[in-house]
Amino acid sequence: MNRLSKFLTASAVALCATVPGAQAADLTVGFTLDADTLDPANHRKRETETIIRNLYDGLVTRDSNMVVVPEIAESITQVSPTEYDFKLRQGVKFHDGSEMTAEDVKFTFDRITQDGGMGDGVTSPRQGLMGPVASVDIVADDTVRISLSEPWPILPAMLPNQQIVSKAWVEEFGNDGVATMENGTGPFKLVEWRKGDAIIMERFDDYYGGATDIEPVGTACVDRVIFKVIPESASRVAALLAGDVDIINELPPFSVGQVENNENTDVLTVNGTRSFFIAMNTQGELFDDPKVREAAAHAIDKDLIIDRILGGNAARIDGILSPDAFGASELPRYDYDPERSRELLAEAGYPDGIEVTMDVEGAFKDTAEAVASLLTKAGIETRVVVGEGAQLVDKWRTKGEPKSGDLYFTSWGNGSLDPFDIFTPTHRTNDRGNSAGYSNPELDALLDAAAVEIDQEKRAAMYHDAEMMINADIPYLYLWVPQDIYGVSKRLTGWTPSADSRINLHDACVE
C-alpha cells in the first residue's frame, strides 16, 4: 500500500470512529463559506485561511488583541535591518507523525516567495504578502534566517498569514494532493472535507501546545471541530438559536437583538480590519475638483448610517486607517452639512448640482443606496449601479488605466493593522488598490520612506503626516470600519473573537 492509500485509509478509519452522533466534546461553527483549498500557499481568502489555521501553525501568530507572538518559532531576533532569525521549537510534529525541521520552514517560504515556487511554473498567489523577502536560509539545525532586499519593518506582522508545510509530504503528493488533504502541525487534523457542506477535524493528541504566550498551552479542549457551511444569514442564525451550532460568523446587525434575547445565546463583537470608503474618480471631469470632493464629504452623515444601517456596529474613520492600526491619528472631520455641500458645488460652477453614478457590489447595495440618498439631498444626485466584483475590480483597480466611473463604494482589508498593507496600495500613484486614480508625488515619497523606516516613532510620525495630507486632499470618502459580529452559544467558553477574523479553536471548550 502506497503512502497516499495509507493516508486515506487512516482518514476513513478516523471518520468512522468519530462521525456517528454528536458528542459532548464536539464544537460546531456555522460558517459563511467553504474553503477554496486546504493548501496554505494557494489562496487569498480570509475564510479559507480561518479553516486552514486550525490545521496548520505558523512561525508566529496573534493573540486576541492582535499582538504578534511566537508560535512554531521559539524566539525572533532581528540580526540587522534586513535579517531576522527564527529559532524553532524542538519536537513539533506534523499530523503524519514526522518531526518538523528547518528544511520544512525553508521549503514553505521558498514555495511562497519564489517565482514558480509551487512547481510546474506556478507562483503562489500569496507571494505579494511577503514583500521584499529575498531568501530564507538555514543557519543552524534549529534556526532559519529570513533576509530582505530592503528594510521592511512589518515582516513579523505579515508572518501569521503563512503556515508551515511538510517538504516531504508536499513533494510526494503535489499541489493537487495538498489542495484536498492536509498534514499540518496545528491543534486539529482533518477527518473529512465534504465540499460545500462541512469540514470535520479532530484533536491532534501529539500537538506541541501552541504559542506559549497564549494560555492554556497544550492539546485542544474539544475532541472534534466541525465547520458547517451555511451561506445564508437567516439559516446561520436559526442554527445557532436551535443549538445546532456553537459559533456563527457574520451575524447580521438586524439579528443581534434576537440572539441577545435568546436565553442560550449571546453576541460577541470585535473591531474588524476592513476599511470601507467611496473612491471618487479624481481623473474625471467632476471629482478632479477639490471643491466637489469636499462637497461630497459634507454630504454624508456617517454617524446616522452607522447607527441606523449598521446597528452601531462600526467605528467611524476620517482617513484610510482603522482606529486600531499602527500610526492611526485623530483627524479633522468633515461634519455632515448638506447646505455647505450645495455652497461648494456652486463655487465649483454647479449651482444646480451634479448627477453621478456609484458602482457597488450586490452585497452592499442597501448601504450604498442609503449613502446615495444623502448625497442626493446635498445636490449630488446619485444613482447606484450594482456590478459583479471581478468586473468592478477590473474597472477601478487596473494599474495605470484611466478611471471611467464617478464613484465606487468599496473596501480594503488590513489584516496586519499596519499602514503599509492598506495605505500604500490605495493611495500610492498607480498602485494596485488606487481606485480613485489619485496621484501625489509628495505622498508617494512619504509612503515609500515609511515602508522602510525601522524607528517606530519616526515611522508613526510619517504616517500621521500622510494621513493629514489625504485628509486635506480627500481622494476618497472615508466611511467606517465595521465590527465583526459573532453569535455564540452560552455553552461555549475559552473563545474570544479576533480582529483578523480568525476563529482560533485551540482553546475553545463546550460544556
Could you say which DSSP state residue 319 is in? S
Please provide residue 179's backbone torsions phi and psi, each rounded to the nearest 5 degrees: -70, -25
Q: Could you tell me if 47 and 415 are in contact, meaning their C-beta atoms sit under 8 angstroms apart? A: no
More confident residue, 363 or 11: 363
The residue assigned the cell 477590473 is 394
SS3 sequence of 168-235: HHHHHHHHHHHHHCCCCCCCEEEEEEECCCEEEEEECCCCCCCCCCCCCCCCCCCCEEEEEECCCHHH
pLDDT range class, residue 247, cuts 50, 70, 90: very high
Residue 254 is predicted with a pLDDT of 87
Q: At 107, list the grid cell.
A: 521549503
Domain ranges of the chain: 3-264+490-510, 274-482
29: left (phi over 0), alpha (psi -120 to 50) or beta: beta
146: its cell numbers: 529570513
| Residue closest to 194 by CA, chosen among 35, 41, 31 | 35
Phi-psi domain of 398 (left: phi exceeds 0; alpha: psi -120 through 50; beta: other): beta
Mean pLDDT across the chain, nearest whole number? Answer: 93
Tell me if 165 sits within 8 A of 182, measured CB to CB. Answer: no
Neighbours of 4 (CB within 10 A): 12
The closest of 72, 53, 200 to 506, measured between CA atoms, is 53
* Of the candidate ranges 74-78, 97-101, 113-117, 322-326, the one whose mean pLDDT is the lowest: 322-326
Looking at CATH, the fold of the domain delimited by 274-482 is given as: Dipeptide-binding Protein; domain 3 (3.10.105)
Cell (9 digits) for 177: 494532493
Residues 6+ away with beta carbon under 8 Å from 234: none
Bridge pairing between strands 476-489 and 247-248: antiparallel
pLDDT tens digit sequence for 455-498: 999 999 999 999 999 999 999 999 999 999 999 999 999 999 98
d(CA 433, CA 425): 5
Cβ–Cβ under 8 Å, residues 405 and 287: no
pLDDT at 195: 97
CB-based contact 92:185 (threshold 8 Å): yes
In 3D space, the residue among 484, 480, 154 whose CA is nearest the CA of residue 319 turns out to be 480
The candidate with the shortest Cα–Cα distance to 124, out of 162, 155, 160, 159, is 162
C-alpha distances (whole Å) from 427 to each of 389, 448, 510 are 20, 11, 45
pLDDT band at residue 65 using 50, 70 and 90 as cut-offs: confident
CATH topology for 3-264+490-510 is: D-Maltodextrin-Binding Protein; domain 2 (3.40.190)
- Band (184; pLDDT cuts 50, 70, 90): very high
Quick check: 358 and 385 in contact, CB under 8 A?
yes
**How far apart, in whole angstroms, are the C-alpha atoms of residue 506 and residue 218?**
9
Q: What pLDDT shows up at residue 14? A: 43
What is the C-alpha to C-alpha distance for residues 197 and 20, in angstroms, rounded to an integer?
16
Q: Show the cell assigned to 72.
A: 512554531
> Which grid cell sits at 288?
478632479
Nearest in space to 257 (alpha carbons), one of 31, 487, 28, 481:
487
Chain-centre distance for alpha carbon 461: 25
Return the pLDDT at 29.
Answer: 98
CA 66 to each of CA 55, 74, 324, 326, 417: distance values in angstroms, whole numbers, following the listed order: 20, 18, 10, 11, 8
Establish whether the linkage from the previous residue to 216 is cis, with ω within 30° of 0.
yes
Contact of 355 with 407, CB cutoff 8 Å: no
Cα 17 to Cα 1: distance, rounded to the nearest angstrom:
22
pLDDT at 416 over 90: no
Distance CA 302, CA 318 (A): 10
**Average pLDDT, integer, range 233-244:** 97
Q: Is the pLDDT of residue 438 over 50?
A: yes
User: For residues 55 and 48, what is the distance between their CA atoms, to the nearest angstrom?
Assistant: 11
For 274-288, what is the mean pLDDT? 97
What is the spatial distance between Cα 455 and Cα 165, in angstroms, rounded to a whole number? 33
pLDDT at 172 over 60: yes
